[in-house]
Amino acid sequence: DQQVKQNSPSLSVQEGRISILNCDYTNSMFDYFLWYKKYPAEGPTFLISISSIKDKNEDGRFTVFLNKSAKHLSLHIVPSQPGDSAVYFCAASAGGNTPLVFGKGTRLSVIA
Amino acid sequence: IAGITQAPTSQILAAGRRMTLRCTQDMRHNAMYWYRQDLGLGLRLIHYSNTAGTTGKGEVPDGYSVSRANTDDFPLTLASAVPSQTSVYFCASSAQRNTEAFFGQGTRLTVV
């Protein structure tokens, strides 16, 4: 049973437009959510996070929105750039010392 | 440069052989993790350790073992490799709960 779901395996966006990556979760104990970016042949790198006490967190071109009632979060990238082309993983953590649970990832392609 | 070092970067291994993937971090993080990444399946947790001397099972622990003798090192052992263990393996660490995990560059393992 997948606790973190990224239902879109891939997404293509034109350069300069907004990219919206979506993530749903089922475990109501999750209280911390993260997005990671992964390039081929590299390890995932942390992008942005949000605590369950917030509904929005912004860092430059990246904004994460959290809708707890819908158990849904999204990552907005605006404007999208070709260097943003990568696989994006959504991850979540519950209370205590539980490890991160990852979604299957969404491959973003930003077309120049 | 501070971070996580994994070795080897890649390996071809005969089925039935024993193999240890090495992971070392110099950030003095308490928690360490091993994930495997497979196409279409995202990142799945194999084993984790919240602190030196303790370990726990993740989502896909069968066929793998770990040890955490000290803070810095978290080796992953395949006692008798099978082709289904062909994957890219990522080691990660985090300082405490609700902080981001930092990932190594990965080990690409092919079992033939």
CB A4 within 8 A of CB A90: yes
CB-CB under 8 Å, B48 with A93: no
Tokens 């395949």 locate to: B78
For residue B8, cis peptide bond before it (omega within 30 degrees of 0): yes
Give the pLDDT band (50/70/90) at residue B28. Answer: very high
With beta carbons less than 8 A apart as the criterion, state whether B68 and B53 touch. yes
Provide the token pair at A30.
């999750």
Smallest Cα distance from A40 to chain B, Å: 10
Return the closest-CA partner of residue B78 out of B26, B38, B34, B30: B34
Query: Which residue among A6, A97, A104 places its CB closest to the CB of B50?
Result: A97
Which phi and psi angles does A89 have, rounded to 5°? -110, 135
The predicted pLDDT at position B1 comes to 59
Chain A contact present for B95, CB below 8 A? no
Best CA proximity match to B30, nearest among B44, B50, B59: B50
Is the Cβ pair A34, B50 closer than 8 Å? Answer: no
pLDDT at site B97: 65
Residues of B in contact with A34 (CB under 8 A): 100
**Tens digit of each residue's pLDDT, chain A (112 residues):** 789 999 999 999 999 999 999 999 999 999 999 999 999 999 999 999 999 999 999 999 999 999 999 999 999 999 999 999 999 999 999 876 788 999 999 999 999 9
**What would the mean pLDDT of B83-104 be, rounded to a whole number?**
91
Give the pLDDT confidence score for residue A2 in this predicted structure.
87
